């Protein structure tokens, strides 16, 4: 084996992204779907940092994008959990199949 390069890190983040996508497709529970989305956001963060470190080490823009993504992911998770709690209060369930009023 040889030195770890950008390609190996991209493989890891790709696998993590598609693991998150699999979870988003199979889960029917809102909290677990939110967890899958967190995994996908994290894989994007790994990509930003790796590209910044290995291709453009003289600038730090990738790190700034990662910081902004982490901030917005935190805001998104907080709002999503507020919505989930409100949904549980009105429907007594957080299954996506039970909240079908606006379907069709």
Residues 28-57 that bind other proteins (CB under 8 A): 28-29, 31-32, 34-36, 38-39, 42, 45-46, 49-50, 53-57
CA 42 to chain centre: 5
Q: CB-wise, 1 or 101, nearer to other proteins? A: 1
Q: CB-wise, 57 or 103, nearer to other proteins? A: 57
Asked whether position 72 contacts other proteins by CB under 8 A, the answer is: yes
Q: For the chain, give the longest Cα–Cα distance.
A: 57
Q: Is 29 helix (H, G, I), strand (E, B) or coil?
A: strand
Helices (H) and strands (E) in the chain, counts: 3, 0
Residue with tokens 């994007």: 44
Rounded to a whole number of angstroms, the minimum distance from the CB of residue 61 to other proteins is: 8
Q: CB-wise, 81 or 100, nearer to other proteins? A: 81
């Amino acid at each position: 084996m040889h030195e770890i390069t950008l390609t190996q890190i991209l493989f890891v983040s790709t696998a993590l992204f598609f693991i998150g996508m699999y979870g988003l497709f199979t889960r029917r529970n809102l909290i677990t779907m939110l967890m899958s989305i967190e995994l996908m956001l994290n894989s994007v963060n790994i990509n930003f940092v790796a590209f910044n470190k290995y291709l453009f080490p003289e600038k730090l823009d990738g790190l700034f994008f990662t910081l902004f993504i982490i901030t917005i992911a935190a805001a998104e998770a907080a709002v999503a959990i507020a919505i989930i709690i409100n949904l549980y209060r009105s429907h007594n369930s957080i299954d996506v199949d039970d909240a079908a009023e606006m379907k069709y």
